[in-house]
Structure 1
Amino acid sequence: MSIITSLLVLSFLIFFHELGHFIAARFFGVAVEVFSIGFGRKVLTKKIGNTEYCLSMIPLGGYVQMKGQDDTDPTKISLDTDSYNTKKPWQRIIILFAGPFANFLLAFLLYIAIGNMGVTKLLPTIGAISKDSPALMGGLQKGDKIIAINHVPIQTWDELSNKIKNSQGILLFDIERQDKKQRIKIMPKVHTYKNMFGETLEKKMVGIAPIGAVTVLKLSFPQSINYAVDATKQATTMIVKSLQKLIEGVIPAKDLGGIVSIVQVTAEASKIGLVALFGLTALISVNLGVLNLLPIPALDGGHIMFNLYEMITKKAPSEKVLYYLTLTGWALLLSLMAFTIFNDIYRLIGAES
């Protein structure tokens, strides 16, 4: 059942992405010939108006085939008034950007839903204290609950961490210990730590770790919107940085995952609960949005790049150049897909051996 759920989630994400292209195309009067979830041979088809809606054999993506646009052969153009080719470059860019935008919008809506259902946060209760740390020297103890810092109430561990990281000078910790309240002065120190990419960085710390207790914060609608904005920004930033670190070689290529990993992780999230599933779905949706904006021919970002070139130079790219760049882009994408699937299978075999 969890595998079916993960496949449904993936199909929904693809549908939402292609729906963005579809709505923008129809808004500018472009005829949409095919709306497909999946690639390859068409399994189920239904024609409504001039558009053929279908489910295809390979559930690894999807596409909206507009009149005058064919990624398999970019030289096939149409000069009809309802063709993609006859629209102005800025209109084409909006049509192309609408797909990734739909992914960001979906993530935003999912984060709003999470905010209304309840956001799980670590409580600001100390579980461990580092040796010779400012916290130990200042008198903090395991089990202390941080109530406020510099008279500002603290509800979650994230708030506590941000206060320490951005501190200037001595901090006043209001704590609760065995039902008694105390105030302790602590001077944070700059320490090194490993980030999620394994890099050594520096930030202000006091040397404490959470005990692991959590709380569920049910946010009001305005708070949910703020939470959704921040969560979407954080997810986007994390994915962009991950791509940057991959290019720099900080993240090894063997850590890349593909469709098998997505299905596997989504299946696990569905077992945990709806909030976890929504959170992972939002993250994957942002990931799809970012990846599709990469300036690679055959992706939305590549087509946007071609249209920006036309806007700047006032002339369309050479059909021959466009053709070979698109073929190169497809070769790159298919190679990357094959490589990530190989990584997934290798990890599965390694886990079972």
Structure 2
Amino acid sequence: MGFLVSLLVLSFLIFFHELGHFLAARWFGVKVEVFSIGFGHKIYKKVYGDTEYALSAIPLGGYVKMKGQDDANPSLLSHDQDSYNAKKPWQRLIILAAGPLANLFLAFLLYVAIALLGSQALAPIINEPDPSLSAAKAGMRSGDEIIRIDGQKVRTWGEMSELISKSQGEIEVEFLRGGQERSLMLLPTLRESKNIFGETILRPMIGVSALGEVRIVSYSLFESLPKALNETIRSSQMIVLGIQKLLSGVVPSSEVGGVISIVQITSKASESGIITLFALTALISVNLGILNLLPIPALDGGHILFNLYEMVTKKAPSLAVFTNLTIAGWVILAGLMGLGLYNDLSKIAQGVMP
């Protein structure tokens, strides 16, 4: 059952991505010849209007084939009024960006749903504070529940921790003790910590740790919208940072996962409940959106780069340059997919696949 859910999630994410391209293309009057979920042999197809809608045998992908655009054969150009090539570079740029943006929008919607439905979160209730730092010195003690930092309401340990880590001086900490509200001015101290990439960093701390109480936290629609937007932005930033760390060697190439990893993790998430599945789906959707914006010729980002070049120079790249770079892009993608598959199979062989 989990495997089926994984395929449905991946197909849905791909559908949403391609739907973004499709709607933008149709908005600008570009004929969409094929809208396919999956690659390879078409096991089902139906023509509506000018478009053939298809479900193909390999469900790990999808594509929108626009008139005048063919990555498999870049020389097949068309300059008819309803073709992709006949549109202005800025219009093509919007069509290309619409797919990744659709994935980011989907992640935003999923984060809104998570906030509305409620999810488990660590409560901002402190354990015995570190006696050497400001919280203990000011008189805070185990069981105190932090409710506001500098006037900003906090409902989870993560929200509290983030506000403290962003502080640049003295902060006002409001907390509950015995049902009564109290307030203290605390000066965070820079201490060494580890980030998610295992790097040693300095971050402001007041010397508190979580008591460990977990509760269900939900938000109103008004609260959910900015929270979902912040979560989408934060996830996007973390993925971009992860790519930078991978390229710089901080994150080893052995951490690159492939389709098998995605299916396995999604399957596990589906067994943990709808909120966990929504959260993972949102993260994969952000990942799909950001990765497609990378300046690799075979991806949306590469085509966006070509159009930006045309907008600046007032001329399109030569067919030879376009073809060679597109082929190089496919080689890079094939290499990354091969690396991900190799890592997945290695983990399975070592018995460490999640």
TM-score, scaled to structure 1: 0.92
Amino acid at match of 1:42: K
Q: Matched residues in 1 for 2:41 and 2:6: separation?
A: 22
- Give the alignment of 1:117-196 within 5 angstroms: 117-127=117-127, 129-130=129-130, 132-148=132-148, 154-167=154-167, 175-176=175-176, 186-196=186-196
Q: Is 1:70 aligned with 2:70? A: yes
What percent identity do the matched residue pairs reach? Answer: 52
Q: Matched residues in 2 for 1:179 and 1:225: separation?
A: 30
For residue 264 of structure 1, report the CA deviation from its aligned partner. Answer: 1.0
Query: What are the Cα deviations for residues 72-91 of structure 1, in whole angstroms up to 9, with x where unaligned?
Result: 11111112221111111111
Q: 1:140 to 1:308 in 2, by over 3 A?
A: same
Aligned equivalent of 2:317: 317
Aligned equivalent of 1:256: 256
For residue 97 of structure 1, report the CA deviation from its aligned partner. Answer: 0.8
Q: 1:254 to 1:92 in 2, by over 3 A?
A: same
Paired residues in the alignment total 353
Aligned equivalent of 1:46: 46
Q: What are the ranges of 5 or more consecutive residues in structure 1 without an aligned counterpart?
A: none
Aligned equivalent of 1:31: 31
Q: Matched residues in 1 for 2:147 and 2:13: separation?
A: 41
Instruction: Give SS of 2:60's match.
Output: strand
- Give the alignment of 1:237-316 within 5 angstroms: 237-316=237-316
Query: What are the Cα deviations for residues 265-287 of structure 1, in whole angstroms up to 9, with x where unaligned?
Result: 11111111111111111111111
Instruction: Give SS of 1:36's match.
Output: strand
Aligned equivalent of 1:198: 198
Q: 1:220 to 1:178 in 2, by over 3 A?
A: closer
- Give the alignment of 1:221-232 within 5 angstroms: 221-232=221-232
Q: Is 1:101 aligned with 2:110? A: no
Which is further off, 179-188 or 297-306? 179-188
Instruction: Give SS of 1:47's match.
Output: strand
Query: What are the Cα deviations for residues 144-197 of structure 1, in whole angstroms up to 9, with x where unaligned?
Result: 333555676643323432443344655565555566776666543110101001
Q: Matched residues in 1 for 2:74 and 2:55: separation?
A: 23
Instruction: Give SS of 2:209's match.
Output: strand
Query: What are the Cα deviations for residues 118-166 of structure 1, in whole angstroms up to 9, with x where unaligned?
Result: 1433211123544644444444443333355567664332343244334
Instruction: Give SS of 2:75's match.
Output: coil
Q: 1:315 to 1:155 in 2, by over 3 A?
A: closer
Which is further off, 320-329 or 183-192? 183-192
Q: Matched residues in 1 for 2:352 and 2:190: separation?
A: 43
Aligned equivalent of 1:220: 220
Q: What are the ranges of 5 or more consecutive residues in structure 2 without an aligned counterpart?
A: none
Is the contact between residue 176 and residue 182 of structure 2 (CA under 8 Å) also seen in structure 1? yes
Instruction: Give SS of 2:127's match.
Output: strand
For residue 114 of structure 1, report the CA deviation from its aligned partner. Answer: 1.3
Q: Matched residues in 2 for 1:165 and 1:109: separation?
A: 27
Q: 1:268 to 1:31 in 2, by over 3 A?
A: same
Instruction: Give SS of 1:332's match.
Output: helix
Q: Matched residues in 2 for 1:162 and 1:148: separation?
A: 12
Query: What are the Cα deviations for residues 206-265 of structure 1, in whole angstroms up to 9, with x where unaligned?
Result: 222112212323222121111111111111111111111111111111001111111111
Q: 1:55 to 1:135 in 2, by over 3 A?
A: same
Is the contact between residue 121 and residue 157 of structure 2 (CA under 8 Å) also seen in structure 1? yes
